[in-house]
Amino acid sequence: MWLSNSSVGRKVVMSVTGIALVLFLTFHMAMNLVAIISADGYNMICEFLGANWYALVATLALAALFVIHIIYAFWLTMQNRKARGSERYAVVDKPKTVEWASQNMLVLGIIVIVGLGLHLFNFWAKMQLPELMHNMDMHADTLTLAYAANGAYHIQQTFSSPVYVVLYLIWLFALWFHLTHGFWSSMQSLGWNNKIWLNRWKCISNIYATIVVLGFALVVVVFFLRTLMCSGAC
């Protein structure tokens, strides 16, 4: 099959799955910003996106996209290393046109994966998973189930810890680098590779990635500051 047997096909798969994940990140960022404005509004969204069939289908589709993206990322990396052979051990000056993020996409991707695991532990495992277990008549902690749709509570609990704040900001920093390169690189793989549009996509990538990452970071910082203000006032 062309999408798996050729290097170009594998890059296309990487590009399409990457763009889909970027769109999800945009939605997730916008959703999280609601928590700053209204806890009740955010919790209504969380309840709507609980263990309902449409939310579960979306979760499975998102998981599939992410797994495919990771597999193809490692596949392409191994293919590139094999193609370079012993040349990868030679000490050479990196071309000025090659970005730092481009040289370290695998490392950045691994940091993003680790951060995702932390995020799933702090939120998905305490929100959608208990509801899913309850719907399947499996044992679910009563207290955990009671707070399953209270997303604002989980945000506050998570980002009241300075350790989690630092870890999430490091994760978002790596995500920014990953997005700034990955977004325009995806467009290049899909055919937008002439000089004019490539430069435009690079500019758009930087702006877009900055907006998305700053949106996530704002939630982290605001809830942490709220914790400090509350502890100081109490």
Looking at residue 233, its pLDDT comes to: 58
Residue 216 in domain = yes
Residue 51, helix vs strand vs coil: coil
> Exposed (0-12), middle (13-18) or buried (19+): which is 169, by Cβ within 10 Å?
middle
Q: Where in the sequence is the domain holding 169, given as residue range(s)? A: 2-83+102-233
The pLDDT of residue 99 is 63
96 is a domain residue: no
Closest CA to 31 of 180, 214, 224, 219: 219
| Distance from C-alpha of 53 to C-alpha of 65, rounded to nearest angstrom | 18
Per-residue pLDDT tens digits of the chain, which is 234 residues long = 555 667 777 788 888 888 899 999 999 999 999 999 999 999 999 888 877 778 888 889 999 998 998 888 888 777 777 766 544 444 444 444 446 666 777 788 888 899 999 999 999 888 888 887 766 766 666 656 677 789 999 999 999 999 999 999 999 999 999 898 888 888 887 777 777 788 888 899 999 999 999 999 999 999 999 998 887 655
Task: Please report the pLDDT score of residue 98 as a whole number.
Answer: 47
- Would residue 93 count as lying in a domain? no
The reported pLDDT for the residue numbered 93 is: 46
How many CA atoms lie less than 13 Å away from 225 in the CB half-sphere?
Answer: 7
Domain membership of residue 91 (yes or no) is: no
Q: Is residue 97 one of the residues assigned to a domain? A: no
Q: Tell me the whole-structure pTM to 2 decimals.
A: 0.83
Residue 192 counted as domain residue: yes
Q: Which residues contact 177 (CB under 8 A, 6 or more apart)?
A: 100, 101, 104, 108
Whether 171 maps to a domain, the answer reads yes
Q: Which residues of 43-81 are buried (b: 16+ CB within 10 A; e: fewer)?
A: bebbeebbbeeeebeeeeeeeebbeebbebbeebeeeee
CA torsion 7-11-17-20 (nearest 10°) is -160
Please give the tally of structural domains in the chain. Answer: 1
The verdict on residue 24 lying in a domain is yes
Which CATH number covers residue 16?
Answer: 1.20.1300.10
d(Cα 5, Cα 86) in Å, to the nearest integer? 24
